[in-house]
Chain A
Amino acid sequence: MKIINGLLATLLMLAFTATPALAQTSPTPMADLMRSEGRIYVVIAVMLTILGGLLLYLVRLDRKISKLEKE
């Protein structure tokens, strides 16, 4: 637990200290995948999330109806 707490504390500290630094260096292009190619991957992530949500909803509905059918 102590290790995890310590890790969390360092992460939080990093997060707070990193934000202003990132804001200053914003004009430089970022190498990260989600920010490449006009950030199209962000659109893909959003669409996949919506699709995942809809499919999850259908699966749950399917299970519920299966349960009703057994009764």
Chain B
Amino acid sequence: MKKKWWKILSAVLLVYTIVAGLLGPVPALPLLQETIRNLYFHVCMWFAMMILFTVSVVYAIKYLRSLDLRHDIYARQFAVTAMLLGVLGYATGAIWASYTWADPNKPLLNSFSTIARDPKLIGAAIALLVYSAYLILRDAISDIDKRARISAVYNIFAYAILFPAIWILPRILPSLHPGNDGNPALDVKNDISASMRVVFYPAVIGWTLLGVWIATLKIRFQLITDKKLIS
């Protein structure tokens, strides 16, 4: 294992997240109650996803500047890992919403149709679909250099869609999803309580490092398999 320290840091932070996240004091809010602890897991998936997509687009730009295929591998694997985290964020959000937003007095399908119309969910779905088109586009091109170049350009385009879709669009339309005013989760004065911040920020770092670890493993494996192409 090369450069171990940040992998150990990730493991320590995640253990801390689970222990402090489940035992630490949280404000008892109506509707949310104990589910507010999902902040340390659900929200962190999206934070880690955004950071990894940012890393991916940086490598896409680096590829376009250098035409080094290594950068293309980096961009692709970071994007795939970010998508995995995004799908996990979506799935955990679906569970969370089912027990906080859904009206238990209405039939399940009725309240589902109301929730599914929420702009934040549609925005997140658009962003993830745009990125899945990135993978389809890549695999449809057989020429290696052309594939790398077109997918790097598309990666930049997808990144330009990501933030309007998950941040700007839900702010324009009325949304049930919290975190649409100010700087959600980063506003020290008015947002999440101090007792939650001491768990939330380490949790974001821990989950992001775990994502980076998975991505680097995929990159290193891809570099071994494509050794002949790169050198």
Contacts and interface: CB of A to CB of B under 8 A. Distances in A.
Given A40-B23, A62-B1, A65-B217, A48 B224 contact: no
B201 to A, nearest CB: 19
Majority secondary structure of chain A interface residues (helix, strand, loop or mixed): helix
A69 B221 CA distance: 9
Contacts of B112: none
A48 B18 contact: yes
B15 interface: yes
Majority secondary structure of chain B interface residues (helix, strand, loop or mixed): helix
Interface residues of B, number: 16
A7 interface: no
Interface string A28-71: 00000000000010011001100100010011011101101100
A48 B79 CA distance: 27
B19 interface: yes
A43 B11 CA distance: 18
Interface of B: 1-2, 7, 11, 14-15, 18-19, 22-23, 213-214, 217, 220-221, 224
Interface of A: 40, 43-44, 47-48, 51, 55, 58-59, 61-63, 65-66, 68-69
29 contacts: A43-B22, A44-B22, A44-B23, A47-B18, A47-B22, A48-B15, A48-B18, A48-B19, A51-B11, A51-B14, A51-B18, A55-B14, A58-B213, A58-B214, A58-B217, A59-B7, A61-B217, A62-B7, A62-B213, A63-B1, A65-B217, A65-B220, A65-B221, A65-B224, A66-B1, A66-B2, A68-B221, A68-B224, A69-B220
